[in-house]
Every structure is written in structure tokens, then in C-alpha cells.
């Protein structure tokens, strides 16, 4: 049975699941969540995921929500991208937790406020606050990646797929890739992996579809 990932292209959290599913060689198909029309709040979707979020992975045995849990299932299922030993596995987990609290939570919220909220709701004070937090998170990444090619070990792991997910999107949110050479080189290394695809090519849904 083909795995089904309920997702949408604009969602960096969905991308955290979709990309490693692809790179691990698993058989999966995207099921579009019409998030911007309120689909994630519908009774049908809440029956699938009471949290009302994407992504959701449906397997033959069970249904999983939250990108980090889906990533862990991929590690358990395939043995890939989880680190080479227990020490690296803990380090992967550390970076996933960091990203969810300090990285993607800032990048994703800031991108949403600056690009997807109606203009009258784009509070400049909120944007300035989030940009400060995003800048601090990017500084952590830049410092770490100036010392190594990947966040953990000598190859890509879920730590990389988690922390990089929102940084491939074209919508502006204060991230200047050219000014952060270590992050820029890291993003290029990841996008050079065989099978890598941009989120708008990997999942249905993009701002162009709603233009």
C-alpha cells in the first residue's frame, strides 16, 4: 500500500516529512490539504488529526501526525538519516527540538505574517520581534555550519531536513541566503542530493495556485 501524506506545498513542516520520505525511497503520495480554505479545521480533517495540522502520514497500520514523529518513523522504518550511533541519534534529536522551538517556529511564523496574512494584519512590531528571533536562530546555524558540512556527522540527517525546510521558500521573510555563506553552501549540498525536490515541486499547493 502506498503511504499517504496529507500536506500542502506552502507548509515547511509538511516538507520536513515529504523530503525524507522521497530521499529514503519510500512509496508515498501527497494528499492536498486546502489549508488556506480552512480544510484543516473541518470535522473530516479533525477526525484524521484532532490537532488540525499538517502533515499527517497514513500507513497501512496507523496514522501519524507531527513532522518530527513522521521523521522518526522514517528512521525506524529505513534505518536512514538518524545518525550512525546512539550519540549521533541524540544529537539529531537535539537539533530537531532546537529547530521546532528556535528555528522553524520563527521562520514559519514570520513568513506567514509577512506573506500570507492580509496586509492590514501585518503588524510591524510583531514582524520586527520575529525578525530578531529569526536572525538569532540563523546566527546559530551559520556558526555551526561554518565548522562542518552537515549538522550531525558526515552526511545528511533529519536534523538537516528539519532545520533547512523553511529556508528554500522564495517568499521574503528577512532571510538573505547570500549573506550567510555557510548556510548557503549547506543548502546547496542538500539540494544536490539525488532525488531532492523543492517543496513546490514535491507537494501540491503554492501561492501561484491561489493568485
Predicted confidence (pLDDT) per residue in 106-142, tens digit = 999 999 999 999 999 999 999 999 999 999 999 999 9
Question: 95 and 77, same structural domain?
Answer: no
How many structural domains does the chain have? 2
Q: State the Cα–Cα distance between residues 129 and 139, nearest whole angstrom.
A: 16
Helices (H), the chain: 12-23, 43-48, 67-78, 86-98, 104-115, 124-145, 158-164, 181-191, 199-202, 207-210
Among 170, 163, 169, 127, smallest CA distance to 142 is for 163
Question: 172 and 90, same structural domain?
Answer: yes
pLDDT band with cut points at 50, 70 and 90 for residue 211: confident
Question: 77 and 95, same structural domain?
Answer: no
Angle at the Cα of 105 from the Cα atoms of 96 and 29, rounded to 5 degrees = 70
Pair 134, 194: CB distance under 8 Å: no
Question: 114 and 143, same structural domain?
Answer: yes
CATH code for the domain of 46:
3.40.30.10
Q: Quote the mean pLDDT of the chain.
A: 97
CATH code for the domain of 136:
1.20.1050.10
Question: 186 and 91, same structural domain?
Answer: yes
Domain region containing 169: 86-191
Amino acid at each position: 500500500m502506498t503511504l499517504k501524506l496529507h500536506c500542502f506545498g506552502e507548509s515547511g513542516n509538511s516538507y520536513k516529512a515529504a523530503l525524507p520520505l522521497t530521499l529514503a525511497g519510500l512509496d508515498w503520495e501527497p494528499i492536498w490539504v486546502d489549508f488556506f480554505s480552512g480544510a484543516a479545521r473541518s470535522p473530516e480533517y479533525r477526525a484524521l488529526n484532532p490537532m488540525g495540522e499538517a502533515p499527517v502520514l497514513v500507513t497501512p497500520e496507523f496514522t501519524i501526525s507531527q513532522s518530527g514523529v513522521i521523521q522518526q518513523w522514517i528512521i525506524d522504518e529505513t534505518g536512514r538519516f538518524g545518525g550512525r550511533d546512539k550519540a549521533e541519534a541524540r544529537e539529531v534529536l537535539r537539533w530537531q527540538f532546537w529547530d521546532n522551538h528556535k528555528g522553524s517556529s520563527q521562520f514559519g511564523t514570520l513568513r506567514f505574517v509577512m506573506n500570507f496574512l492580509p496586509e492590514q494584519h501585518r503588524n510591524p512590531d510583531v514582524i520586527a520581534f520575529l525578525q530578531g528571533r529569526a536572525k538569532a536562530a540563523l546566527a546559530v546555524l551559520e556558526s555551526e555550519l561554518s565548522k562542518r558540512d552537515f549538522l550531525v556527522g558526515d552526511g545528511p540527517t533529519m536534523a538537516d531536513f528539519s532545520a533547512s525546510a523553511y529556508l528554500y521558500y522564495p517568499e521574503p521573510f528577512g532571510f538573505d541566503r547570500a549573506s550567510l555563506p555557510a548556510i548557503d553552501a549547506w543548502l546547496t549540498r542538500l539540494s544536490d542530493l539525488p532525488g531532492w525536490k523543492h517543496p513546490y515541486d514535491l507537494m501540491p499547493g503554492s501561492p501561484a495556485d491561489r493568485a
